Amino acid sequence: MLNIVFLDRTGVPASHNIPRPSFPHNWVEYARTSADETYERAKDADIVVTSKVVFNRELLAKLPKLKLIAITATGTNNIDLVAAKELGIAVKNVTGYSSVTVPEHVLGMIFALKHSLVGYHRDQITSDRWATCGQFCYTDYPITDVRGATLGVFGKGCLGTEVGRLAQLLGMNVLYAEHKGATTIREGYTAFEDVLKQADIVTLHCPLTETTQNLINADTLALMKPSAYLINTGRGPLVDETALLHALENGVIAGAALDVLVKEPPEKDNPLIQAAKRLPNLLITPHIAWASDSAVTTLVNKVAQNIEEFVATGK
């Protein structure tokens, strides 16, 4: 009888449950688990299911029963993978489940930015600008075409490639950025700095590593066109939030749309959250680009499959 503990059930929408394994097991789940609670809840587990709970080397070393960490997400940066491997603990994540919903979310953000939907919508709920403009419409915020715009894609994996494919169908010119500092440019890629300089929209789909943290910072933002937009549906720490806010407030770039932040959930006084209340060129969604109904269904089924396969094969 294996003990399975789901440490952060609220990381998966309540409308979807992970199918229970076919083998004999005890299943316990918690809505959330803090760092102080993790050891006590995981100490008797053979399998831990989690999305964002952190497992560092010190904690993993104190869990001799643990055989598998089944992640209900793609990112594994909350797990010390080196330590897990040394201790014989398998880590299985889920990939590919959001290959439709994230690109669609990015497209929605592109249209929202290029057509200034945030500014125009905010006017209707915070002012009587339309009622008092004196004519049938007003054009206080810029409206520019998506077709013909250049999209710079940073990260050419499943999501970045699909975003690029959809963008090309809309008539956009797509550039895939080479790694920062690369000495050679691979076929199908454009030099990192050239993409920043040429793109009308930059969208981030690269993994979070030591080399990609703060990939977008004051220096890289300064390379972008003043008319350009930034979209981040990847990982919050890919962007230096202080530098981005400065860029938005000072016209370094034209706007940004973010689905992820450095700290999640953010503090109530997060500067970007506060700025979004007054800036018509800043759109923030609460890390939900991945969460369409079909994507979550695929996710929970793949998590269940990962658990079944591990118990059946040991890997």
DSSP H stretches of helix in the chain: 35-42, 57-61, 81-86, 101-114, 117-126, 158-169, 192-198, 218-223, 241-249, 271-276, 293-313
* Single-letter amino acid, residue 25: H
Contact 229, 201 (CB under 8 A): yes
Catalytic (active site) residue 241: no
* Single-letter amino acid, residue 209: T
**CA dist list (Å): 249 to 252, 257, 311:** 8, 14, 53
CA–CA separation, 121 vs 43, rounded Å?
Answer: 50
Which one from 25, 179, 287, 308 is the annotated catalytic residue? 287
- The C-alpha angle with vertex 147 and arms to 144 and 124, in degrees rounded to 5, equals 35
- The C-alpha angle with vertex 59 and arms to 56 and 61, in degrees rounded to 5, equals 105
Contact 32, 10 (CB under 8 A): yes
Catalytic (active site) residue 29: no
Catalytic (active site) residue 264: yes
SS3 label, residue 273:
helix
SS3 label, residue 50:
strand
Nearest CA to 159 among 111, 193, 207? 207
Q: Which residues contact 202 (CB under 8 A, 6 or more apart)?
A: 152, 154, 195, 196, 216, 224, 228, 229, 230, 231
Which one from 37, 86, 264, 309 is the annotated catalytic residue? 264
Which one from 9, 41, 205, 235 is the annotated catalytic residue? 235
Any idea which residues carry the catalytic annotation?
Answer: 235, 264, 287
